[in-house]
Structure 1
Amino acid sequence: MIAYRAMVDVPREVVQYLARLLAAERRARGTRSGTRALTCFYQALLVLVWFRKGEDATLLGAGFGVSRATAYRYLAEGVTVLAEQAQDLHTPLRRVADDGWSYVILDGKLFDCDRLTETTLNVKQETIDAWYSGKHRDFGANIQAVMRPDGLPVWTSDAMPGHLHDLTCARQQGVTAALHWSAAELDLPALADSGYEGAGHGIKTPVKQPADGHRLDVDNRAFNRLLRGLRWQGERGFAILIGRWKALRHTTASPRRIGGIVAAALHLTHFEYKYLPGTC
């Protein structure tokens, strides 16, 4: 292999913050000083290089002077300590309301992963690929997210198999129940696309075209236009995450781990946006 100099465009404060989380994890595990191949700082740097650039773990490990197995172990540990900072959905909803926002955006996305052999039964009792989305014609994990009106994502869900519908995932993850609560208790409704039709109280979706081919009533057309005008910027949330953290664009890890990887990327994003708990 040939070594070369490289740089990663993340603030040093992010590396130091992650290093402190890793140091706390080592203390909790009882890791003795001097027994690790990398210090907490360089382990944090390794993790952030992977998130930012999506580097191959073997080459990344070689660049830091550790084996492929050690690189994977360090990456998994970094993802875990970041994902553990995630909060229950009710907490970020309260914060959005306290910050003066009048609504949130609900959206779902398929995060691309390698082809899998896991199968399941569909509603017709036919065997299908569990992680294949017929809508997107790709394999991946369905992740639900709640965004502020300006597009900043405030919460992401665990991974669900890609064959499931957005509304099914939102219900099984308890997202719809939390949004019903926020609409009723915080006066904070959620805006969503037509994939969430029938989600219930407080989750606003577009009015669909009549099945008989007639044009929508003018009031319904105005409602749909207003909804699109309010929702479009909030749907930038996934673009913020994927644009900043290249590792989210495709994963070779188990798709069940994608939820933790996205939650870790969300926490890094909150640090950079100064949106961690207790910050302004």
Structure 2
Amino acid sequence: MLAYRATLDVPRELVQHVAGLLRAERRARGTRRNTRRLTCFYQAMLALVWFRKGEDKTTLGAGFGVSRATAYRYIAEAVAVLAAQTPTLHDALRQVAADGWSHVILDGKLFDTDRLAETTTSVKGVSIDAWYSGKHRDFGANIQAIMRPDGLPIWTSDAMPGHLHDLTCAQHLDITGALYWAASTLDLPTLADSGYDGTGLGIHTPDKQPADGRALAVDNRAHNLLLRSMRCLGERGFAILTGRWRTLRHTTTSPRALGDIVAAALHLTHFEYRHLPQTR
């Protein structure tokens, strides 16, 4: 196997931040000094290379002089530590309101995974692939996210099977309940696309075309135009995550672990965007 020099295009401060979190985790576990193959700094580099470039873990481990199993374990540790830093949904909504933003944006995305053998029973009583999305015609995990009006994602959900619709995921994870609370208590309404139609007060969705084929009234068309013009920036949220952290574009790990992986990438994004209180 040949080795070559490469550059990791992340700020050194981010590597040091992740290394600090890993160091605290090692102390909490009671890990003895000089018993790990890599220092916290190089373990942080290993994890960030994986997030940034999405390289094969076996090859990546060889580049850092560790075995395949050690590379998997080191990356899993980093993912768990980073995911634990993300705020709860209620805390994220409170921070957005405190920062003076007028609304938040709700959206969902199917994160691509390998084909899976897990099956479930559909509402029609038919056995289907649990992680297959008929809408996207692909296998993956459904992740819900809340974005600020400028498109920065502030919170992401646990992974849900790909066959579920966005509204079903939002209701199952009680995201809708938190958003109702934000609208009534924090005066922070939510904008969403038509996939969330029927969510109720506080979550605004476009007016649908009448079933009889008639054109929408002028007021309804104006409402839809205004809603889409304000919501469109929210589409940047997932693009910020997948564009920066390439490992999110396709994963071969268990799709149930995608929630933590996306949450870890969210914390890295918050650090780079100075969205963390300690980095402001």
Shorter-normalised TM range? over 0.9
- Partner residue, 2:33: 33
- Partner residue, 2:133: 133
Give the secondary structure class of the aligned counterpart of 1:74: helix
Q: Contact 2:271/2:279 (CA < 8 Å) preserved in 1? A: no
Using the alignment, how far apart are the partners of 2:57 and 2:225 within structure 1? 46
* Residue-by-residue CA offset, 1:157-178 (whole Å, 9 max, x unaligned): 0000000010000011111000
Question: What are the residue-to-residue correspondences of 1:109-188 with 2, within 5 Å?
Answer: 109-188=109-188
* Residue-by-residue CA offset, 1:258-280 (whole Å, 9 max, x unaligned): 00000000000000011113443
Question: What are the residue-to-residue correspondences of 1:43-122 with 2, within 5 Å?
Answer: 43-122=43-122
Give the secondary structure class of the aligned counterpart of 1:233: helix
Aligned identity (percent) is 74
Tell me if 1:190 matches 2:183.
Answer: no
* Residue-by-residue CA offset, 1:80-129 (whole Å, 9 max, x unaligned): 00001122101111111111111000000000000000000000110000
Give the secondary structure class of the aligned counterpart of 1:155: strand
Using the alignment, how far apart are the partners of 1:86 and 1:119 within structure 2? 31
- Partner residue, 1:6: 6
Using the alignment, how far apart are the partners of 1:7 and 1:55 within structure 2? 14
Give the secondary structure class of the aligned counterpart of 2:277: coil
Give the secondary structure class of the aligned counterpart of 2:58: helix
Gaps of 5+ in 1: none
Using the alignment, how far apart are the partners of 2:277 and 2:181 within structure 1? 21
Deviation at 1:234, TM superposition (A): 1.6
Q: Which runs of 4+ in 1 moved over 2 A?
A: 277-280
Q: Number of residue pairs matched? A: 280
Tell me if 1:272 matches 2:275.
Answer: no
Deviation at 1:235, TM superposition (A): 1.6
* Residue-by-residue CA offset, 1:172-202 (whole Å, 9 max, x unaligned): 1111000000000011000000000011110
Gaps of 5+ in 2: none
Deviation at 1:74, TM superposition (A): 0.4
Tell me if 1:236 matches 2:239.
Answer: no
Residues 278, 14 of structure 1: alpha-carbon distance in 2 compared, 3 angstrom cutoff: closer
* Residue-by-residue CA offset, 1:208-229 (whole Å, 9 max, x unaligned): 0000000000000000000010
Using the alignment, how far apart are the partners of 1:278 and 1:211 within structure 2? 52
Q: Contact 2:160/2:256 (CA < 8 Å) preserved in 1? A: yes
Q: What letter is aligned with 1:45?
A: M
Deviation at 1:45, TM superposition (A): 0.2
Q: What letter is aligned with 2:74?
A: Y
Q: Contact 2:113/2:250 (CA < 8 Å) preserved in 1? A: yes
- Partner residue, 2:225: 225
Question: What are the residue-to-residue correspondences of 1:17-32 with 2, within 5 Å?
Answer: 17-32=17-32
TM-score normalised per structure 2: 0.99
Using the alignment, how far apart are the partners of 2:87 and 2:258 within structure 1? 17
Q: What letter is aligned with 1:30?
A: G
TM-score normalised per structure 1: 0.99
Using the alignment, how far apart are the partners of 1:279 and 1:147 within structure 2? 20
